[in-house]
Chains A and B, each alone.
Chain A
Amino acid sequence: MQSQLSLYPDQASNFAGSVDSLMTFLTLVSVFFSFAITAAIVFFFFRFHRKKPNEVGVPIYGNMRLEATWIVIPFLLAMVMYGWGAVVFVEYRHPPKDTLDIYVVAKQWMWKAQQPTGLREINELHVPVGRDVKLILASEDVIHDFFVPAFRVKMDVVPGHYNTMWFRPTKVGRYHFFCSQYCGTNHAVMGGWVTVMEPANYAAWLSGSTGAEVDPVAQGEKLFVERACSTCHIGSGLGRAPSLNGLYSAKVLLADGSTVTADEAYIRESILQPNAKIVAGYQPLMPSFQGQLTEEQILALTAYIKSLQSQPVPAKGAGAAPATEKK
């Protein structure tokens, strides 16, 4: 796929070009300074070599103009590097709207991915070319890191947190992904392949695959009833807990007067630590599900709650209705 002595990996995502440009800029600046300083040192070393054993150098104690110069110029260059790097990073940390969301669960020492249709893969990830893809990352045990060199993207996968990362594949092919955060014995073999496909091939793969397919929404709905979530979270908004209809991506008014956007991390936190953020108008009644659900079950519940986005949102009134508004 790549020759053995290339200096950079395949460029296969929207970030590859911008990261490589940064790399080129920083390398050029560094090479310039390394060569300039090394050349000066080597030149002085031979030009001012001691000729007589008792010779001393010319005393020169310093020069304020020179000091100012070599403070200001490196500072300005550093600020250019900082600003340029910040622009790329901010773009990376803010996924666009309307992404293809894939859930990825890491555990010692394998990766499980679940497509929006529910199709599951292990140590493989199939994505369509040209589509914005967002990965929602969860860990069952220790900290891992999802790293695709050809995409120039990585993100830590932290137990107890959701992290997200996004990219837009730009080139069809198969690319390595690695675990890049040391995670124990088989860290080095905890990797696999990202397959970037033409959208038509991707659709055919999704429908034609014989892989294990469990609809996460259906699984989440089942859990929602089994774990008795449904006794309080009633769709009409008349239960002891807020209705979850239309919750996902809405702004939620909290008891302390602040608002929070109901993203995956908020939903997860509300399941595991319900008292961390209390919705305005409700009592802190919900028990914690910390330790009682696997990461995959939490993902399934989240997928189900996301699917309620299309359900009718009950009207506000009398404190019983959820204090939500559509973004």
Chain B
Amino acid sequence: MPREHYLKASYGIRSWLLTTDHKRIALLYLASVTFFFFVGGIFATMIRIHLLTPTGYLVTPENYNKLFTMHGVAMIFFFLIPSIPAVLGNFLVPMMIGAKDVAFPRINLLSWYIYITGGCFVLYSFSTGGLDTGWTFYTPLSSVYSNSAVTPAVLGIFINGFSSILTGLNFVVTIHTMRAPGMTWFRLPLFIWAQYATSIIFILGTPVIAITLLLVGLERMFHLGFFNPALGGDPILFQHLFWFYSHPAVYIMILPAMGVVSEIIPTFARKPIFGYSFIAGSSIAIAVIGFLVWAHHMFLTGQSTYSALAFSLLSYLVAIPSAVKVFNWASTLYKGSISYDTPMLYALGFIGLFLIGGLTGLFLACLGLDIHIHDTYFVVAHFHYIMVGGAVMGYVGGLHFWWPKITGKLYPEFLARVAAVILFVGFNLTFFPQFILGYLGMPRRYHNYPPEFQVLNVMSTAGASILALGYLLPMVYLTWSMRYGKVAGPNPWPATGLEWRTDSPPPAENFHVTPEVDWEPYDYGNRPDLGLAAPLAPSPAPAHGDD
């Protein structure tokens, strides 16, 4: 372990709560998103136990509705959206581009306090009456009819939105202005491209959800008629505004995970990534086209047929860049030197689950098929494959990959591999039966169901117990490793990024000397400093030193 590093730079609670070090802020986020993951996870566990029997096993209908609503709000707004950007992004964006910190370190700390403030409002809502509107807050149910604590919840999400906006702004400015000498745009790690695309969505999309939920609050408190038809409002308008953000929000969750996978695969195949510019460009394409597909959540609201036709077409177009990424990742493995290290297992698991999640998205984008599967468990299964199978696998894989950098310690490798396999198996057992349930016609958000759906529900709950084990194991051994793990050294894998060219854990200023970049990304063939053998058939790297 290095004598001096960011964890030892200063001590005491004040040194954490007033820090402007992006690495410490990342750890503040790590602790807080883990807390919300626990909260959401407990709700999920209760949901799955309740659904063991057709008449409901555990709670009253009111409480069931609160459980799935609070599960969604905690997981989406307070875990999934901030997880990779605010934890791994905060830690890595400056380090990967060779900077000392983000462009606005104090604003970075401010965004964490905003997140905590928003989180407190939401926890206040959860603990004083709960929330039963569904995380989608559809009007006029949320703005007029619900008797739960809707107002503090929408205020909390409104406030939390500014945290995302400031983080996005910080990353965009940092990536534009603080790259080290020689770190040209096409030498950027693909994780940075993904963070950049995500930041664009943060900045352009989040204001819309923030103001929309504020309007819900205003309609609730002051009876202003925005969405309530009895006051001359339009409930469908809410859905347009809501999904204008909340569909791109799915890309906020998945794009950074794709960025993580794009780092892990070349590292553990020890070769340049296949089609760098296609993977980078597809991130931007997803961010842009992702803004033009929102009304595919609304095919059956009675919107015009022409509108449905246009949004279905655009939804198919956004699938193409995702497919391009998958093909490029798979091709990167060809003639690699592949290891079975834990991050690689997560990355490959991500591809498998994202494949199923992405392909079933095609089913829902298909107008004729959506008539039947819209608002059924098919949708539930689909978006859990994307958000949990995709985004969370990416996040946990990324945590393992950079854990030695963050803590300076190695986790127990064998246990970690076992946990990765348990997670993959448990996830599929939990959510695959839900595709079938959906096609058989079980609607979402049902606290009880006709008896013919029981077998598949029991299978799903059984899988969830395995999945829970898969999440608990890493929490235990990662925490354990902080104290008892083996010392990792600066570059244990070894990997090619700038963040691996400094100590683990890094010094407070990240690098002892400002790094200069004169190599292409993931260019194992031209990195004698890594101490590896020369490649069998070297081929010249495309030069990007001048662009």
Q: Which A residues fall within an 8 A CB radius of B? A: 1-2, 4-9, 15, 18-19, 22-23, 26, 29-30, 33-34, 37-38, 40-41, 44-45, 48-52, 54-63, 66-67, 70-71, 74-75, 78-79, 81-82, 84-90, 92-94, 108, 141-143, 145, 147, 149-150, 152-156, 158-161, 163, 176, 178-189, 290-291
Contacts and interface: CB of A to CB of B under 8 A. Distances in A.
Contacts of A29: 359
Interface stretch (B204-212, B241-249, B266-274): B266-274
A57 B334 CA distance: 9
B305 A57 contact: no
Interface stretch (B86-94, B216-224, B368-376, B398-406): B368-376
A184 B132 contact: yes
B363 interface: yes
Contact of B536 (A58, A158, A176, A187): A58
Contacts of B363: 23, 26, 30
Contact of B533 (A2, A4, A55): A55
Contacts of B368: 18-19, 22, 84-89, 92
Contacts of B138: 142-143, 181-182
Contact of A182 (B62, B338, B444): B444
16 contacts: A40-B330, A44-B334, A54-B531, A57-B269, A57-B271, A58-B336, A63-B274, A70-B323, A82-B367, A87-B368, A88-B368, A93-B305, A143-B141, A147-B443, A154-B374, A183-B141
B308 interface: yes
Nearest to A146: B300
B441 A9 contact: yes
Contacts of A143: 138, 140-141, 235, 301
B61 A188 contact: yes
Which of A67, A141, A187: most chain B Cβ within 10 A?
A187
Interface stretch (B13-21, B156-164, B254-262, B309-317): B309-317
Nearest to A291: B230
A55 B530 CA distance: 11
Contacts of B327: 37, 66, 70
B320 A78 contact: yes
A45 B236 CA distance: 48
Contact of A44 (B270, B277, B338, B446): B338
A6 B320 contact: no
A142 B140 contact: yes
B271 A60 contact: yes
B466 interface: no
A56 B65 contact: no
A301 B262 CA distance: 62
A59 B375 contact: no
B351 interface: yes
B59 to A, nearest CB: 12
A61 B236 contact: no
Contacts of B274: 60-63
Nearest to B440: A9
B338 A49 contact: yes
Interface in B62-88: 62, 65
Interface stretch (B4-12, B95-103, B447-455, B505-513): B447-455
B517 interface: no
A59 B523 contact: yes
A160 B228 CA distance: 9
Contacts of B45: none
B473 to A, nearest CB: 23
Contacts of A145: 300, 375, 443
Nearest to B520: A61
B439 A8 contact: yes
Contact of B366 (A5, A59, A62, A81): A81
Contacts of A179: 443
Contact of B61 (A18, A50, A186): A186
A49 to B, nearest CB: 5
B450 to A, nearest CB: 6
Given A54-B531, A56-B525, 17 more contacts: A9-B439, A44-B330, A48-B338, A59-B541, A60-B271, A62-B275, A79-B316, A82-B312, A85-B368, A86-B367, A89-B371, A90-B305, A153-B372, A156-B302, A160-B229, A182-B141, A187-B445
B110 interface: no
Contacts of A108: 145
A181 B136 CA distance: 11
A130 to B, nearest CB: 21
* Most B C-beta atoms less than 10 A away, residue of A41, A59, A74, A150: A59
B278 interface: yes
Contact of B333 (A1, A48, A85, A183): A48
Contacts of B65: 182, 184-185, 187
A22 B319 contact: no
A7 B441 CA distance: 10
B271 A158 contact: no
A308 B4 CA distance: 89
